[in-house]
Amino acid sequence: MSSLKLPQSVPSPAEDAELLHKAFAGWGTDEHLIISILAHRNASQRRLIRHVYAETYGEDLLKSLDKELSSDFESTVLLWTLEPAERDAYLANEATKRFTSSNWVLMEIACTRSSIDLLAIKRVYHSQYKKSLEEDVAYHTSGDFRKLLVPLVSSFRYEGPEVNTMLAKSEAKILHDKISEKAYSDEEVIRILATRSKAQLGATLNQYNDHFGNSINKDLKADSKDDFLKLLRATTKCLTCPEKYFEKLLRQSIRKLGTDESALTRVVTTRTEYDMERIKEEYQRRNTVTLECAIAGDTSGDYEKMLLALIGHGDA
């Protein structure tokens, strides 16, 4: 469930565009006004505002925001204002340019978006970057990471609820055999994780748990420092219980000595309109404090205000 709070009566896109334009005028910038508008409009409303703004003032709203804002507040507002597919294509493209940690961003986008949403991202990627997401991921990764990430970003998974129990049993056994042999990047492991529907995979991991006494993620903890194993565990989480994955990512990025703003910003801007309520619930269960309190304790200023508005704190 989305954490977004919309006003009872939403102003017209023209009114919003005009107010935003006023917020940029003169010496200072009215950050409060920007938050009060953009953090309380859904994706299609923001698209309309951007459209009207460009028509009226001859400049992309994102460009104006880019000129007026700075640092973490800026990146949050910019990421949020983008359309979901545009935003994910941007995040994925940035990730292909960096190393190690960026593998997580690619896996996260590939595994937690729906097939249709992932496809929309790939289309935007074509038109924005004049190449495919798959080729960039394949080109910029290597070894076991490539073996896992390329099929993950390439798959167009079936999304129906059908489950084949016999298949779940036999593939749970394959997974267990390979993990016992420490053949973590075996092509059968990758095939099962990368191509099966989330429903089927859920059934397979339940069979794993029932028949072999441990959850797959426990068995994948053989070496807690191994980066590939970490990514594999995160993959199974993203595919079967994304809210737990996001809770942990938030927890780690807030607890870090110096918050990891890029992860915090990414999770908040990408999940607000999808499952943020579910993630907040999970966060409170795991950390005793609410996500609101944790964010408020660890961030400040307009960045804090923007994040809190997005996760549904206060009124629209």
Residue 20 CA to residue 7 CA, distance in Å, equals 17
Closest distance to a copy of itself from the beta carbon of 208 (Å): 18
Q: Binder to a copy of itself among 13, 151, 242, 312 (CB under 8 A)? A: 151
Q: Which of 155, 185, 262, 287 binds a copy of itself (CB under 8 A)?
A: 155
CA distance 147 to 190: 7
Amino acid identity, position 296: A
Residue 229 Cβ vs a copy of itself, minimum distance, rounded to whole Å:
21
Confirm if 243 and 278 have CB atoms less than 8 A apart.
yes
Q: Does 177 bind a copy of itself (CB under 8 A)?
A: no
DSSP 218-287: HHTTSSTT-HHHHHHHHHHHHHH-HHHHHHHHHHHHHHSSS--HHHHHHHHHHHTTTTHHHHHHHHHHHH
Distance, CA of 267 to CA of 78 (rounded, Å): 14
Total number of residues that touch a copy of itself (CB under 8 A): 29
43-57 and 13-24 helices, crossing angle to 10°: 60
21, 47, 146, 251: residue in contact with a copy of itself (rule CB under 8 A):
146
Counting contacts by CB under 8 A, is residue 225 touching a copy of itself?
Answer: no
Other CB atoms closer than 10 Å to residue 165's CB: what's the count?
12
Q: Which of 36, 132, 262, 290 binds a copy of itself (CB under 8 A)?
A: 132
28 annotated to a ligand binding site: yes
Cα-based distances in Å from 20 to 34, 50, 269, 301: 6, 10, 20, 19
Q: Residue 304: helix, strand or coil by DSSP?
A: helix
Is 58 assigned a ligand-binding role in the annotation? Answer: no
The site string for a copy of itself over 186-215 (x = CB under 8 A, - otherwise) reads: -x---x--xxxx------------------
Is 298 annotated to bind a ligand? Reply is yes
Q: Is 157 an interacting residue with respect to a copy of itself (CB under 8 A)?
A: yes
Q: Does 51 bind a copy of itself (CB under 8 A)?
A: no
Dihedral of CA 287/291/293/297: which sign? positive
Q: Is residue 174 a contact point for a copy of itself (CB under 8 A)?
A: no
Which listed residue (15, 59, 94, 159) binds a copy of itself by CB under 8 A?
159
| Contact between residue 1 and residue 276 where contact means Cβ atoms under 8 Å apart | yes
Q: Quick check: 147 binds a copy of itself (CB under 8 A)?
A: yes
* 77/239 with CB nearer a copy of itself: 239
Q: Which residues are annotated as a binding site for Ca(2+)?
A: 24, 26, 28, 68, 254, 256, 258, 296, 298-299, 304
Which residues participate in the annotated binding site? 24, 26, 28, 68, 254, 256, 258, 296, 298-299, 304
The residues binding a copy of itself (CB under 8 A) are 119, 122, 126, 130-135, 138-139, 146-147, 150-151, 154-160, 162, 187, 191, 194-197
